[in-house]
Amino acid sequence: MGKALEGIVVLDLTQYEAGPSCTEMLAWLGADVIKIEPPGGEPGRRALSERADLDAWFFLLLNANKKSVTLDLKTERGRAIFERMVGRADVVAENFGPGAIERLGFGYDALRRINPRVIAASVKGFGATGPYAAYKSFEWIAQAMGGVMSLTGMPDGPPLRTEAGLGDTGAGLHCAIGILAALVQRQQTGEGQRVEVAQQDSVLNLVRIHLREHYVTGTPVPRRGNRSVAAGPSNLYRCRPFGPNDYVFVHCATLEMWRTLTRILGRPELGDDPRLADRQKRAEHAPEIDPLIEAWTEKRTKHEAMEALAGVGIPCGAVLDSGEVLSDPSLVARGMVVTLEHPTRGPFAMPANPVQLSASPTTVTRAPLLGEHNAEVYGGWLGLPTDELRALEKDRVI
């Protein structure tokens, strides 16, 4: 059986993280994703790179399974080639700054005139409408404006960003969902449509469950660090040998879990204490409970503590650093971390597709070199003759 999105052609104009994370998911699911870059490469190829002569790890992590072609859309011939590509494509995805795709002449109305079946997908900071439509955005702006930053940090400290890409990859995955829905609807209508995702909207969607407290109190939800207001014990606890990441997170959601934990701690009488009978009461007594748990965890490594607690049904997870994540036996066994061979970077481990489909398992291929597929796409798929390709290359159109 083929891949889930086999036969779907995506023209990928995206850059940095928010857009590439969307198109990478489509590529993992089997779409033929053609990454269209300016002759110098999209900015993400050099983002945060420690070597100017090599594609950045940033780029490699976000552009697996894609093809790369170069094309200067600011030239007349480049735009003419792109129009031909749009006529044969299913999806065009971009995350340029506000108004940029329209200035190039390829806003949704223009794309629709070229190909009424095309799905035009855009990721913007604040969408195409509303008072912030002209504002630019990046990950941290989206976190601030989407509500998560106000929830993150210690009670007596300032708001904090989280390193998880909620604004970028979060928006990208929301956009992928929209594209998939539009593809399904096109089967019924024969028509494409516009898919728009705003980073601010995506972050709000990811934190919406925390609004429940605002509805109750009518006041802004406060920061609480690692503690939960609705369950207890629920916190981070220090472990041996007391390095910066030697911690486990324990979350007791039920009375049964709490009673099991009290037996492990050697304090079974606390399991029957009426003051601690429900999760919210235990959360209120966290200052008394947490030292008892940490006295136990501090005698063990984080992996020993996790094995002991998770093994008896208490939700518990060790805090894994970046190296531990890339070698975690569960992630490796499930194929979530795979080792790829890159022609300039050599072998490296990278996270793979988190979506598992039984009938079309994902295979991960390395990110492409700049313009690696020019001949295949322009010569094979688009049918341009060899002499025309040479002329386009000589004139820096491709």
Query: Structure tokens of 289?
Result: 């409970």
Paired sense of beta strands 234-238 and 247-251, if any: antiparallel
Enumerate residues 6+ apart whose C-beta is below 8 A from 274: none
Catalytic, 290? Answer no
Catalytic residue among 32, 72, 90, 168: 168
* CA separation for the pair 176, 19 (Å, rounded): 9
From the list 327, 334, 326, the residue with the least C-alpha distance to 353 is 334
Query: Structure tokens of 147?
Result: 């509500």
* DSSP run (H or E) holding 215: helix 211-217
Q: What's the gap between Cα 135 and its chain centre?
A: 22
Q: Which residue has the tokens 């386009």?
A: 392
Q: Which residue has the tokens 């993992």?
A: 28
Give the sign of the dihedral formed by CA 378, CA 381, CA 382, CA 384.
positive
- Residues assigned a catalytic role: 168
